[in-house]
Structure 1
Amino acid sequence: MIYAIGEALIDFVPEPGGLYSPQPGGAPLNVAAAAARLGGHSALITQLGRDAFGDQLVRAAQAAGVNTDHIRRTDTAKTGLAFVTLDEGGERSFAFYRDPSADMLYGPGDLDVQPQAGDLLHFCSVSLVPGPMREAHAEAIRRFRAAGAGVSFDLNIRLPLWPDPAECRAAVWDFLPHADLVKVSDDELPFVTRSGAVAELLVGQVQHVLYTKGPHGAEWHTRAGLLAEVPGFRVEAVDTTGAGDAFTGAVLAEMQRRGHRLSADLDAEAVQHLLWRAAAVGALTTLRRGALAALPDQTRLAHFLEEHL
């Protein structure tokens, strides 16, 4: 099972005419949904408010095929919101409303997952702000590592959530060495490293680094160096929200399907296949507005790959 832990929230996405449409989102949910839509087995670990937006998120997760048994509900706080702004190229920025949101109040004592070897835990930096959810991440990582399960970390930097960028960088480095796989984008790498080199991230338990470059493709690095790379797909992007999460979900789902373990070495041919599919999924996700609403299933992915072979 792929377990994604962290925030699930409502993205208010701009529509033509200046109106905003409430769309299910949040990076952990996006990753879990992307994996499930592509035939993977995934679950979400989070907390939502006992409100209409929380109901919408649970329905959306279930519709995507995500296991929702580990989603808690609370009356203490509301479900988180984010307003998305898009530029002419579909690139987005976020304004978050979490003061605090229900997911931020999820603590270590709320964890009800008993991981097994072969499972995988995925997390992002949004939920590493100081508070109960950060401590829940630390406990979840401890449990998964003790069980022999894999750990995946997408940096997913969102600086507006942090009072000081240095605090965000410090949190990333507190957690990064405990992951087997790290995903970083080309705009995040200069922020978290001194030299701008991917090799700086191969520390502690980290064995694999996925380096994504938007429309310019992606690279897969190991301690031995660059293992594989793929170019980007040329598409007319409408909304890039969730594209990186879709990429990650595609990688994790295909690794699960093929029985690949993060603790084991992967050959260049296998990695090339993983990157190619993931890049296609990321590109497809940019063709529609919203995150979950844009995620492709296996049929749509197969058609897209046939057209681009």
Structure 2
Amino acid sequence: MAVTVTRSGFVALAGRPNVGKSTLVNAMVGQKVAIVSDKPQTTRRAIRGVVTVPDQFQLVLTDLPGVQRPRDELTTRMQRRVESEVGEADAALFVVNGDQGVGGAGDRFIVEALIAARVPVVIAVNKVDRLNQPRTVQALQVASELGLPDAEVFPVSARTGRGVAPLLDHLATLLPEGPFYFPPDEVSDQSEQVMLAELVREQVLLRTRQEVPHAVEVQIDEIEEREGLIAVRALLWVETESQKGILIGSRGRMIKSIGMAARKELERELGGHVHLDLSVRVRRSWRGDDALLDRLGIT
């Protein structure tokens, strides 16, 4: 009787803020496990998406915060998590933005960190759907000359799915032989509370500008199943009264808009009718508050 040999392991995604790492994770998993917006630093936690091909491989993708210079306790924790996850991974996927140009100071800073981590690296040049052929060729050439000579370079479009399948197949070859870490039908390791909080925060990010998106965090305070209904109570933390005013909006229009859109996302995730209660609270400098960051699960 033939013995089935499977591969399994962890691949950490590294890249500058807003290069499309979360969108790429969702594309590889085949469904939404990480929130997406056009705001830098959308991802604050290390979020794992799981790709399983039965009897072949299980790829655990760690969607990391964008690499940046820490500014406060929040971004210090985010950067520390990036370094830790990359160092412990079986491989790293370095995502660069082909549309904005490859090879700037931010990309080269990440290259140095990847070299220091001593893990196999694959480079994904994302957003090639926005490039013509000459620009695509140029972006791939620059990516191949970033200082990671052993790294395979793949052109991909996380938005359209172009190039994702070959990238997945190659990443699977870098995994060690071993049993699967997660059940075959599991697509993420996020707790229900974290996933729901992130879905609410996504709607805040889509509707606010300037400093507000970076100053908001969401905490699910309660999930209660009632007859034919799931009641969810969420707290939106901000740092100033003015930010609270923006989130509530004139005559409560903004918080109502956020709530209506978030409720639809929560219903899609939970598969039932949801009553969503949102409240906004002010805690000055929460991004430097160790106790609150611990409670929010940002380690």
Do the structures match in fold with TM over 0.5? no
TM-score by length of 1: 0.30
TM-score by length of 2: 0.31
